[in-house]
């Protein structure tokens, strides 16, 4: 791991203690029926449900939740692709606040697009609808460490 020294004798049972001593915040994750990792986040003081997606370059919110999260949006020339859809129109929103557990990120940027196809797939597999996706932009900013076995996300 780059930037994080793990002693050779570190036992997995003490990973939590080690990271908390290094001032990481612990966020508990749940697993959806589709085996996606899910978490609750607060954007602009409004809570929502998000899938953690290490393969998504940007964090996203569904168009229909722009007002719900108090997002000021503007047109974007960028097109989105993913989860079986391509060339989707997007909007962007800048200078938002994000809280994940005790971890805070200000001046947070979001991409908005129509996530109907994502939520439809989740519902077809008896999973809950989500508001958006937390992507690599946040994981990088928070120097994320994911403990898949214990379903924990650590952010610094």
pLDDT digits (tens, 9 = 90+) for 104-143: 999 999 999 999 988 998 999 998 999 999 999 999 999 9
pLDDT of 14 reads 81
Bridging pattern class, strands 30-31 and 80-82: unpaired
Q: Where are the beta strands (DSSP E) in 19-84?
A: 25-28, 30-31, 37-43, 46-52, 60-62, 73-75, 80-82
d(CA 111, CA 60): 5
Q: Express each pLDDT in 5-37 by its tens digit.
A: 666 655 555 889 999 999 999 999 999 988 999
Dmax over CA atoms of the chain, in Å, equals 52
d(CA 30, CA 137): 21
Q: Model's pTM, two decimal places?
A: 0.85
Contact call for residues 133 and 50 (beta carbons, < 8 A): yes
Domains and CATH numbers, the chain: 29-155 (2.40.70.10)
Q: Express each pLDDT in 52-90 by its tens digit.
A: 999 999 999 999 999 999 999 998 766 555 555 555 688
61 forms bridges with which residues in the sheet?
112, 132
pLDDT of 6 reads 63
pLDDT of 65 reads 98
pLDDT of 90 reads 87
Contact call for residues 48 and 118 (beta carbons, < 8 A): no
pLDDT of 100 reads 98
């Amino acid at each position: 791991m780059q930037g994080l020294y793990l002693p050779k004798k570190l036992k997995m049972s003490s990973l939590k203690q080690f990271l908390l001593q290094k001032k990481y915040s612990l966020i508990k994750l749940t697993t959806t029926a589709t085996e996606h990792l899910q978490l609750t986040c607060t954007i602009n003081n409004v809570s929502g449900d998000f899938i953690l997606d290490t393969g998504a370059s940007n964090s996203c919110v569904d168009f229909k939740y722009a007002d719900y999260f108090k997002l000021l949006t503007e047109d974007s020339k960028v097109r989105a692709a993913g989860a079986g859809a391509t060339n989707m129109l997007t909007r962007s929103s800048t200078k938002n606040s994000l809280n994940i557990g005790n971890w805070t990120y200000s001046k947070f940027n979001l991409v908005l697009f129509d996530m109907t196809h994502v939520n439809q797939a989740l519902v077809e597999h008896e999973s809950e609808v989500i508001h958006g996706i937390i992507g690599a932009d946040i994981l990088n900013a928070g120097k994320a460490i994911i403990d898949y076995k214990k379903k924990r996300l650590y952010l610094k």
